[in-house]
């Protein structure tokens, strides 16, 4: 168990809908990262938050947004969903520093029908 | 821009044999970290090993070792004495010491271990 909790584990929805994925980082970790994993794109970094502030942006679509709350949990909001958004979404957390590994949650499998 | 390249989509090995998974990276930064993760069919991401750019010795963690060749910008993972449970996808990743600290991942290599 990595200590990172993601909910829900599975999500099935329709095109055009909006969903929210939730992540609770490991106790003490201030950084939260969101990744999208699909067969064609691999593991793509979406966005990082550090202690409530956006730290870095990757390949995140404008239809997607995220935030980190004062209790350090994070939510990833996906709107106007398209078939191509179907993927495994990972949350990860870490302490600061270039040597620090990321601890991954078990992921949310999103299926857009 | 930073980039990780894993050129082997799939590798096949027999139990008890050693296997090397290739990883090359590209960065202009002097300070960076290299990571390997394992993703079994169950989907979770499992950290295996870390190598810092200034580390003088190659990293080792049990049956895993990292063959770090800085001049060639390569960070190959060596798994000794393969086991059936090693069958999984393996990802090489890099973090550079910039404002953001996210890991950039390669496309991965699928390792299949047979008996």
Across the interface, do B44 and A106 touch by the CB < 8 Å criterion?
Answer: yes
Question: How many percent of chain A have pLDDT more than 90?
Answer: 83
Span B28-49, mean pLDDT? 94
Measured between alpha carbons, how far is B73 from B53 in angstroms, rounded to an integer?
Answer: 10
Question: How many percent of chain B have pLDDT more than 90?
Answer: 84
Across the interface, do B101 and A90 touch by the CB < 8 Å criterion?
Answer: no
Buried b (16+ CB within 10 A) or exposed e, A27-56: eebbbbbbbbbeeeebbbbbbbbbeeeebb
Least confident of A8-12, A44-48, A70-74, B92-96: B92-96
Residue reference for tokens 């895993």: B64
Residue B98, pLDDT score: 63
Measured between alpha carbons, how far is B87 from B69 in angstroms, rounded to an integer?
Answer: 26
> Number of CB pairs < 8 Å for A and B?
61
Q: What is the mean pLDDT of chain A?
A: 94
Across the interface, do B45 and A99 touch by the CB < 8 Å criterion?
Answer: no
Measured between alpha carbons, how far is B49 from A104 in angstroms, rounded to an integer?
Answer: 15
Question: How many percent of chain B have pLDDT more than 70?
Answer: 97
Which of B35, B52, B108 is the closest to A42 by Cβ? B108
Residue B52 contacts A, CB cutoff 8 Å: yes
Pull the structure tokens for residue A80.
Answer: 């106007």
Which of A56, A104, A109 is the closest to B45 by Cβ? A104
Residue A38 contacts B, CB cutoff 8 Å: no
The residue in chain A having the minimum alpha-carbon distance to the alpha carbon of residue B108 is A42
């Amino acid at each position: 168990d990595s200590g990172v909790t993601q909910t829900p584990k599975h999500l099935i929805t329709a095109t055009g809908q909006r969903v929210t994925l939730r992540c609770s980082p490991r106790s003490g970790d201030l950084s939260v990262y969101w990744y999208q994993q699909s067969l064609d794109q691999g593991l793509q970094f979406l966005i990082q938050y550090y202690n409530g502030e956006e730290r870095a942006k990757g390949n995140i679509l404008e239809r997607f947004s995220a935030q980190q709350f004062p209790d350090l949990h994070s939510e990833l909001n996906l709107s106007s969903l398209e078939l191509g958004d179907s993927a495994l979404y990972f949350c990860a957390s870490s302490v600061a520093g270039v040597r620090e590994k990321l601890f991954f949650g078990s992921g949310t499998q999103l299926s857009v029908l | 821009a930073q980039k990780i390249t894993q050129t082997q989509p799939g590798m096949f090995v027999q139990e008890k044999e050693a296997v090397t998974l290739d990883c090359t990276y590209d960065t202009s930064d002097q300070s960076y970290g290299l990571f390997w993760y394992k993703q079994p069919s169950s989907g979770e991401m499992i950290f295996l090993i870390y190598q810092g750019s200034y580390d003088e010795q190659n990293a080792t963690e049990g049956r895993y070792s990292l063959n770090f060749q800085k001049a060639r910008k390569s960070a190959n993972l060596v798994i000794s004495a393969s086991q059936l449970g090693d069958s999984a996808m393996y990802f090489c990743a890099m973090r550079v010491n910039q404002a953001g600290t996210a890991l950039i991942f390669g496309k991965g290599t699928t390792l299949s271990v047979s008996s």
